[in-house]
Chains A and B, each alone.
Chain A
Amino acid sequence: AQSVAQPEDQVNVAEGNPLTVKCTYSVSGNPYLFWYVQYPNRGLQFLLKYITGDNLVKGSYGFEAEFNKSQTSFHLKKPSALVSDSALYFCAVRDNNAGNMLTFGGGTRLMVKP
């Protein structure tokens, strides 16, 4: 079975500071990893994904994530946070041996304060 853990319910950061939203995963095969963002009363929007290749993945809105196989982690990062980055962030994993099944973490609320 595949699973995802987002250990922080909420992350608070000041505008202009770097941010990190943590994600760890568990799969039996090789993982496909995704980050999504959800703004209030909206659906999920895709940010970035790791499939293979470089461990550092760059995505939309200046976000990036680093795949660490030994730590089974895929933390989301941004060098300089914006107030508009405040939203709910979800990490998700798909086991390449498990077809199309996508499993989500519980979500982390990011609050960026001016």
Chain B
Amino acid sequence: IAGITQAPTSQILAAGRRMTLRCTQDMRHNAMYWYRQDLGLGLRLIHYSNTAGTTGKGEVPDGYSVSRANTDDFPLTLASAVPSQTSVYFCATKGGSTNTEAFFGQGTRLTVV
């Protein structure tokens, strides 16, 4: 079944540790995004990539990094996790032109303690 796979589904992480959230898609969409979802704040864009080999900063990029070595994968790395990074993280993709909708993965629930 075509779609977006995020891993892990959930994770408890000690503060200061490094963590990579994985996102893989098989829809060959050019654009990929990472959002975090926090109660009352909706979804906020962390980083994005319009095409393989390029990335950009979103609304809340501090403490996060991404890479886009190929079309299918868009990992999100927390270099040194802090409790404020406790959140639910969603990967999304978008193909086609500007007016097409985005598709979302099932999310990764991350708790930093």
A32 touches B98 (CB 8 A): yes
What bracket does the count of chain B residues touching chain A fall in? 20 to 34
Residue of A with least CB distance to B106: A43
B contacts with A: majority SS: strand
Please name all residues of chain A whose beta carbon is closer than 8 Å to the beta carbon of B40 when the two chains form the complex. 9, 106
Pick the contact of A102 from B102, B105, B107 — CB < 8 Å?
Answer: B102
B106 touches A100 (CB 8 A): no
A contacts with B: majority SS: loop
Q: Give the number of residues in A that approach B within 8 Å (Cβ atoms).
A: 25
Given A100-B31, A106-B42, the answer on whether A44 and B98 have CB atoms closer than 8 Å is no
B104 touches A43 (CB 8 A): yes
**Interface check B1, CB cutoff 8 A:** no
B98 touches A94 (CB 8 A): yes
B50 touches A104 (CB 8 A): no
**Interface check A114, CB cutoff 8 A:** no
B41 touches A100 (CB 8 A): no
| B25-54 residues at the A interface, CB under 8 angstroms | 31, 33, 35, 40-45, 48, 50
Residues on B lying within 8 angstroms of A by beta carbon are 4, 31, 33, 35, 40-45, 48, 50, 58, 90, 92, 94, 98-99, 101-107
Not counting A43-B107, A44-B43, a sample of 13 additional A-B residue pairs whose C-beta atoms are within 8 angstroms of each other reads A36-B104, A42-B106, A43-B90, A44-B90, A45-B104, A49-B99, A51-B99, A99-B98, A100-B48, A100-B98, A101-B48, A102-B94, A103-B45
